[in-house]
Amino acid sequence: MVHIDKSALIGKGHHRECYQHPEVNNLCIKVDAPGNPKENRREKKYYRYLVNRGICWDMIPAFHCVIETNMGPGSVFDLILDEEGAASKSLQHYLSSDNKTAAFYDRLSASLHALKDYMLQQRIVPMTLKPKNILCKKLDCGDFRLFIIDNIGNSDFIPICNYSRYLARRKILRKWQRFEDGILKTYRHDPALQQMLAANQHRS
């Protein structure tokens, strides 16, 4: 059994809590929050589906295994770190920063477009896309690589999108449009961000 110290908490959502692995620095452990025992099982099932498909793991953390911890069963994933070694911050963190520059918007635009292409190519269907659930891995060159770290997986009762490229593409595009609409609404007083997203939509 792996003992998790509560001081190692990285992030907490409605369904799960995420802790840095006590023995391996570049791994994390997700455990169900009290009263939400189903989320790890749902996500584990979808990740196994992705493993069986042999997808590329460039923009979602790789799933490794399920272990027993002092907080119950935990799912072990890659921990997303900047190239300098610090834990990567969320897209929400960067969008809320007052230090945004023209270079930031250029890098973010390219990163968002790359993430959208990745999801379409690999047929990664999210339940929802939110800036707080996307990490920005800072590269040494100054660019970002985005990673979706939560709410991955088709929650439909009959997941037809898992077996149809056409339906998967349509669903991903709908989810992406809602994601961009949410950013536009939340950061409606940021004209540079509005312009960047409009340019991305035209580019698509």
Cβ atoms of residues 76 and 66 within 8 Å: yes
Same domain, 93 and 168: yes
CA–CA distance, 172 with 177 (Å, rounded to integer): 9
Domain that holds residue 68: 6-78
Provide the domain count of the chain. 2
Q: What is the pLDDT along the chain (204 residues), one digit of tens a residue?
A: 999 998 999 888 777 889 999 999 999 999 987 666 666 677 778 888 899 999 999 999 998 988 999 998 898 999 999 998 889 999 999 999 888 888 899 999 999 999 999 999 999 999 889 999 999 999 988 899 999 998 887 777 677 888 889 999 999 999 999 999 999 999 988 888 888 888 776 565
Cβ atoms of residues 110 and 136 within 8 Å: no
Same domain, 93 and 163: yes
* Tokens (6 digits) for 114: 């790359």
* Tokens (6 digits) for 98: 């007052």
Looking up tokens 């540079």 gives 192
Same domain, 130 and 164: yes
CATH number at residue 191: 1.10.510
Same domain, 131 and 54: no
CA–CA distance, 25 with 71 (Å, rounded to integer): 19
Comparing CA positions, the residue from 68, 86, 88, 84 lying closest to residue 76 is 68
Tell whether 83 is covered by a domain: no
Please name every residue paired with 152 in a beta bridge, in sequence order, or none if there are none.
Answer: 126
CA–CA distance, 196 with 3 (Å, rounded to integer): 45
CATH number at residue 59: 3.30.200.20
The DSSP element (H or E) to which 53 belongs, if any, is helix 39-53
Strand, helix or coil for residue 87: strand
DSSP 127: S
Tell whether 70 is covered by a domain: yes
